[in-house]
Amino acid sequence: GRRPRRRGERETLALRRRTSPGRPRPQGVAALAVLAIGLALLAPSAAVGAPPVPFLLLEEDRTYQVQPGESLADIAFRLGIPWRRIAELNGLTDPTRIAAGQTLRLPSQRILPAALEDGLVINLPDRTLYHFARGTLIASYPVGVGRADWPTPLGEFRITAKVRNPTWFVPKSIQEEMEAEQRIVKTRVEPGPDNPLGEYWLQLSLPGYGIHGTIAPESVGWFSTHGCVRLRAEDMESLYTAVSRGTRVVIVYEPVKLAPARDGRVFLEVHPDPYGITGDPFARLGDLLAAQPAPLRLDYAGVQAALWAADGFPRLVGSPVQPGDSK
């Protein structure tokens, strides 16, 4: 990807609402009290900011096979799951002792950003690409996305071209970075083992940006790119085969995700806000709750714990309001 436009241009592209930068701290008991009062009725007027994307709760058995050189911390960060949770699920008393080829159990709950019936949804805070077909998740992959100073643009795009063995025409801004870092300045990189795009490129309808493979698999799962979306080589090969020109791609920024289960449980998943876009996570939770079709009863201690932890782990925080409940 190339260096993003200046602030005003980038915000027009991103279609986003910026509040204060950084990760605001919840305002403790007072904020919870205000949140509880304001959301008890769940009136639409209680929502603040842009409408969130819809979310779905998926519960399924999941595993992960450890790759050579990976630590539990690496795996946890790439998958957006606290390493302690993975260690607990797998009975790992010493989290440093995992081996390549070992199969690890993962938490069964996942909250999906269901922004499309058909196509690709990329949620930057959880660094995951979701592939939907007819409203059903058919695949998901960890991805590397733009650094805070080179953010991945938000919005809806299309895949306009598929290229196998691409040539990388190095953007001028990246050439300038190479020069500033006293590296060899390259203007193009031919296909081959030194090409950072890997073997496959999916061109997006936003010029200069795409979804591609990598020759640096350790960078996947991090905010590590110049704005493009990067997959591990084997994942990119699968994705390249599964999509076609014209496929819709929606890139969203949802660090706070909320979804009820069919049996009435309610799960909340919170990630850090590295771009400083969403502002107060309590306010964003208000948006999510106001968008629910029915009132929800929340455990506010659990809500506060999830917002403070921001560890990407779906936490049980409540249940629907039952008939006859006064609140």
Mean pLDDT of 79-88: 82
pLDDT confidence tier of residue 3, bands split at 50, 70 and 90: very low
Whether the per-residue pLDDT at 198 is higher than 80: the answer is: yes
Higher pLDDT, 224 or 74: 224
Residue pLDDT, tens place only, 26-79:
344 333 333 333 333 232 222 234 567 889 999 888 899 999 988 998 888 777
CA distance 171 to 168: 9
Which of 131, 226, 228, 271 is the catalytic position? 228
Mean pLDDT across the chain: 82
Residue 285 pLDDT: 92
Q: Which of 19, 58, 51 is nearest to 269 (CA)?
A: 58
**Phi, psi of 115, deg, nearest 5:** -80, -15
Residue pLDDT, tens place only, 132-185:
999 999 999 999 999 999 999 999 999 999 999 999 998 898 999 989 998 999
Residue 7 pLDDT: 35
Residue 274 pLDDT: 92
Sign, CA torsion 86/84/284/205: negative
* First-last CA distance in the chain: 50
Q: Is 228 in the active site? A: yes
Residue 1 pLDDT: 55
Q: What is the pTM of this model?
A: 0.76
Residue type, 297: R
**Spatial contact of 305 and 315, defined as CB atoms under 8 Å apart:** yes
Sign, CA torsion 66/71/77/83: positive
CA distance 307 to 272: 9
The percentage of the chain sitting over the pLDDT mark of 90, rounded to a whole number, equals: 55
Residue 325 pLDDT: 62
Whether the per-residue pLDDT at 93 is higher than 60: the answer is: yes
CA distance 163 to 176: 26
CA distance 313 to 79: 10
Residue 43 pLDDT: 28
**Spatial contact of 227 and 155, defined as CB atoms under 8 Å apart:** no
Tell me the domain boundaries of the chain.
24-53+255-320
pLDDT confidence tier of residue 322, bands split at 50, 70 and 90: low
Secondary structure element (H or E) that encloses residue 145, with its range: strand 145-146
E-state strands within 172-265: 188-189, 200-204, 210-212, 223-225, 229-230, 248-252, 256-260
Q: Is 131 in the active site? A: no
Q: From residue 109, how far is each of 115, 131, 250, 296 by CA, in Å?
A: 18, 17, 23, 19
The alpha carbon of 221 is separated from its chain's Cα centroid by a whole number of angstroms, namely 9
**Phi, psi of 181, deg, nearest 5:** -90, 10
CA distance 131 to 297: 31
Q: From residue 281, how far is each of 54, 111, 315 by CA, in Å?
A: 17, 17, 15
Quick check: helix, strand or coil at residue 167? coil
Mean pLDDT of 222-233: 94
The percentage of the chain sitting over the pLDDT mark of 70, rounded to a whole number, equals: 82
Q: Which two tokens stand for residue 167?
A: 């040539």
Q: Which residues pair with 119 in a beta bridge?
A: 132
User: Other CB atoms closer than 10 Å to residue 253's CB: what's the count?
Assistant: 22
**Spatial contact of 160 and 205, defined as CB atoms under 8 Å apart:** yes
**Spatial contact of 21 and 276, defined as CB atoms under 8 Å apart:** yes
Residue 324 pLDDT: 62
Secondary structure element (H or E) that encloses residue 88, with its range: helix 83-89
